[in-house]
Amino acid sequence: MSGDNARLGIILMIATTFVFAMQDGISRYLASEYNVLMVVMIRYWFFAAFVMAVAARAKGGLARAARTDQPWLQAGRGALLALEICVMVLAFTLLGLVESHAVFAVYPLLIAALSGPVLGERVGWRRWVAIGVGFVGVLIILQPGFRVFEPAALVALTSAFMFALYGLLTRYASRRDTTETSFFWTGTVGAVVMTVIGVWFWEPMTPYDWAWMALLCVTGASGHWLLIKTYSVAEASQVQPFAYFQLVFATALGMLVFGETLETNVALGAALVVAAGLFTLWRARRVQG
């Protein structure tokens, strides 16, 4: 039965990465036409409604989902994710999907590197070597001496760092709160933060682009639903390596739809980053086992 669950979990994770890649593609298009903050704000309105609907249907309703004794931590991580999404979508418009995702793939290595000082977890020398290899991959992508100091190239790296910190705060919050509670705070706090910021950047949209915005909201909600379903049928360690399929799908989308190119340095660097990330996941699973 566990094998069947693992296979289903892998299928669901690959489906999740495909939906999220499509979401990134739509975000890239809309953010190139309208203000990034407004696009993310509208996306969060739908996300918050989805989160509240899920919580309302669960046992205990909204009150149970919102209950926490660490509200500042939950609010902080919810706000951090909202701001990270803004930075990542900005990276899509500056660098394109291919290079942004190649750099963003370093976030599992950042989580491994920061898990010591933030969570007090032990990181052995093998994982430190893998982290070093991964950062060599990032430098290859950024082309040292040419693009490494270009602000646009550092936007995606900033997004990866923010997402890694969000992941660590989520792991820390999970010691005392349920997944449902963290999910509720993620959606609601993010919507509040983005409304406070984004409402000042409102722009009229064409009916054609409102249709794309609606599709963006649907992909966001369905992607998170698929992710929840994935972790409910299989262990995270079994399915997490397949999250790298988002890099594959986003690269294909960038090349086919947006006319982006996959440069040799980006392909080589991304391969090193993914290989290092897969090793850290494998090593963490062995240590836990």
Q: What are the tens digits of pLDDT across the range 228-255?
A: 788 777 776 667 778 888 888 999 999 9
Least confident window among 8-17, 34-43, 203-212 = 8-17
Task: Give which of 69, 6, 55 is closest to 188, Cα–Cα.
Answer: 55
Do 233 and 5 form a contact (C-beta atoms < 8 A)?
yes
pTM over 0.75: yes
Q: What are the tens digits of pLDDT across the range 74-98?
A: 999 999 999 999 999 999 999 889 8
| Spatial separation of the C-alpha atoms in residues 125 and 122, rounded to whole Å | 10
At 138, the pLDDT band (50, 70, 90 cuts) reads: confident
The total number of residues shown for the chain amounts to 289
Give mean pLDDT, residues 98-126.
79
Please determine, for residue 3, whether its predicted confidence score (pLDDT) is greater than 60.
no
Least confident window among 134-148, 185-199, 210-224 = 134-148
The whole domain housing 262 covers 2-288
| Spatial separation of the C-alpha atoms in residues 128 and 75, rounded to whole Å | 31
Give mean pLDDT, residues 158-165.
91
Q: How many domains does the chain have?
A: 1
Give mean pLDDT, residues 126-140.
79
| First-last CA distance in the chain | 20
Task: Give which of 29, 128, 106 is closest to 266, Cα–Cα.
Answer: 106
| Spatial separation of the C-alpha atoms in residues 2 and 233, rounded to whole Å | 9
> 63: which residues sit within 8 A by CB, 6+ positions away?
none
Query: Nearest 10 degrees: CA dihedral of 251, 253, 254, 257?
Result: 160
Residue 287, pLDDT score: 62
Average pLDDT over the chain reads 85
Residue 4, pLDDT score: 53
Do 42 and 217 form a contact (C-beta atoms < 8 A)?
yes
The segment with the largest mean pLDDT, out of 72-81, 120-129, 154-163, 243-252, is: 72-81
